Amino acid sequence: MKTIINHFTDNDLYTFTCMYYILQKYPRAETEYCFFDRRYTCYPKGFDRLLREQLEHLSEVVITDEEREFMTRAFPFLPYWFINVFLCGFRFNPSELTIRQDEEGHLDIRVKGKWWSTIIWEMPILATISELMHTLNGDAEKYDAEVEYEKSLQKGRKIWLNGLTLGDMGTRRRFSFDHQERVIDALIQSYAEVKEETDGHCGKFTGTSNVYFAMKKNIPCLGTMSHQCISFEEVVSGVFECNYNVMNKWSEVYDGNVGIFLYDCFGDNVFFNNLSKRMAMTFCGLRIDSGVEEEQVDLIVEKYNQLGIDPMTKQAVFSNGLDIGRAIEIHNYCKGKITDSYGVGTFLTCDVTDCKPMNIVVKLIRGRITESREWHPCVKLSCDKGKTLGDKAKCDYLLSVLDEGK
């Protein structure tokens, strides 16, 4: 079987921004991640062996001169040494992986090691599992490239004609590498056509979160941050202070760049109760990844108004498993309230005829700030109960503490 991940930068931008943040703030931290399949899929016999072969191959995948030069040019907020020294010497370390499959076919995948090293595995694990599964179950054999390209073109036209500002965030659960490239090509083509037809009175294509495709297609690369930064910080500074402390540390590292904050790791209430005007001014917006979007918009607008900030000067980035119809509804609701944009993933890169996308994630489950300290559970509560992940006892405890603090 052909190798699935063949490019060092076939990964999302936030992997590299979080990696640099970790090097600056927690260089000795160690973490453990776990794979979660929300549908409890029974994978074909021997899937663990095929997956292990694919991921072990990554030890041979290194950053190229072209990738290095692109990152240096495109991401001035990442220092020269990080890209041209650190990443040049970086190697995927398969010894950090543990992959098992039980008799029923369920996968147990763990990643354990230094945080700055283990963070790079999330995207390759998920993209590999997704493409491998769609190949083994026959989806790839039925795939019609022309049909899917035309479908993506029409989807793109709907996006731009309805005024959406939108980018691709679909690397993790894509149907395949080739299909993601096809989708991006269709978005580029449809945007150019609609822009010409409407004399520019349309939506805006903001690019892709995938660094390799941003380089190859010469389009913007977009990215925010990961829940794991806040989840780990809770271990260090507690649930009531972790959001503020990550905002403060992130702003120290990036000085106003990469300024969209992901606020829902422990629900919205604890975040808004602790959001200061200085932090609200420092970050250019917030990413809404759970909850009822209209309700979250109202909460955000109310908080900005309380702080004396015009919400229309801020950005709300929506990324909670949206399809285009739902994004249009939210866009219409946001008009006159806040500047909105959208990061759409699975609905773009795995909306394939007669194919069911996977519902899989890799999440941080344990952490410690140095190798000599004790391990602590890391959890995510979210504004959606279905997205709560981690040690149940700790989740229950934090929920009770947060309820008391309301």
CATH of the domain at 361: 3.20.140.10
* Residues 101 and 47 sit within 8 Å (Cβ to Cβ): yes
Would residue 54 count as lying in a domain? yes
Asked if residue 149 and residue 183 are part of one domain, the reply reads yes
Pairing of strands 165-168, 107-114: unpaired
**Of 196, 217, 238, which residue sits at a domain end?**
217
| Rounded Cα gap, residues 68 and 35, in angstroms | 30
Would residue 402 count as lying in a domain? no
Q: List beta partners, residue 336.
A: none
The three state secondary structure string of the chain is: CCCCCCCCCCCEHHHHHHHHHHHHHCCCCEEEEEEEECCCCCCCCCHHHHHHHHHHHHHHCCCCHHHHHHHHHHCCCCCHHHHHHHHHHCCCCHHHEEEEECCCCCEEEEEEEEHHHHHHHHHHHHHHHHHHHHHHCCHHHHCCHHHHHHHHHHHHHHHHHCCCEEEECCCCCCCCHHHHHHHHHHHHHHHHHHHHHCCCCCCEEEEECEHHHHHHHCCCECCCCCHHHHHHHHHHHCCCCHHHHHHHHHHHHHCCCCCEEECCECEHHHHHHCCCHHHHHHCCEEEECCCCHHHHHHHHHHHHHHCCCCHHHCEEEECCCCCHHHHHHHHHHHCCCCEEEEEECHHHHCCCCCCCCCCEEEEEEEEECCCCCCCEECCECCCCHHHCECCHHHHHHHHHHHHHCC
* Residues 321 and 285 sit within 8 Å (Cβ to Cβ): no
Would residue 362 count as lying in a domain? yes
Tell me the residue range of the domain where 54 lies.
Answer: 13-141+356-374
List CB contacts of 341: < 8 A, sequence separation 6 or more.
Answer: 165, 166, 167, 206, 315, 316, 317, 318
Asked if residue 128 and residue 92 are part of one domain, the reply reads yes
pLDDT at 405: 65
**Comparing C-alpha atoms, which of 135, 176, 156, 204 is closest to residue 10?**
176
Q: What angle do CA 312, 315, 320 make, to 5 degrees?
A: 135
Look at the chain and report how many structural domains it folds into.
3
Would residue 250 count as lying in a domain? yes
pLDDT at 403: 86
Asked if residue 155 and residue 100 are part of one domain, the reply reads no
Determine the residue type at 169.
Answer: M
Mean pLDDT by runs of 10 across the 406 residues of the chain is 95 98 98 97 98 98 98 98 98 98 98 98 98 97 98 98 98 98 98 98 98 98 95 97 97 96 95 96 96 97 98 97 96 98 97 97 98 97 82 94 79
Cα dist from 44 to 35, 103, 173, 175, whole Å:
17, 10, 18, 18
Q: What is the pTM of this model?
A: 0.97
Would residue 396 count as lying in a domain? no
Would residue 406 count as lying in a domain? no
Q: What angle do CA 191, 297, 378 make, to 5 degrees?
A: 95
Pairing of strands 97-101, 165-168: unpaired
* Residues 263 and 300 sit within 8 Å (Cβ to Cβ): no
| Rounded Cα gap, residues 40 and 85, in angstroms | 41
Question: Which CATH number goes with the domain that contains 276?
Answer: 3.20.20.70
Q: List beta partners, residue 12.
A: 210
Asked if residue 149 and residue 136 are part of one domain, the reply reads no
**Comparing C-alpha atoms, which of 318, 245, 330, 332 is closest to residue 287?**
318
**Comparing C-alpha atoms, which of 184, 175, 107 is closest to residue 141?**
175
**Of 334, 349, 364, which residue sits at a domain end?**
349
361 backbone dihedrals φ, ψ, rounded to 5°: -145, 160
Classify residue 298 as exposed, middle or buried by CB count within 10 Å of its CB (0-12, 13-18, 19+): middle
Asked if residue 130 and residue 39 are part of one domain, the reply reads yes
pLDDT at 73: 98
Would residue 382 count as lying in a domain? no
Cα dist from 264 to 242, 252, 389, 397, whole Å:
12, 21, 13, 17
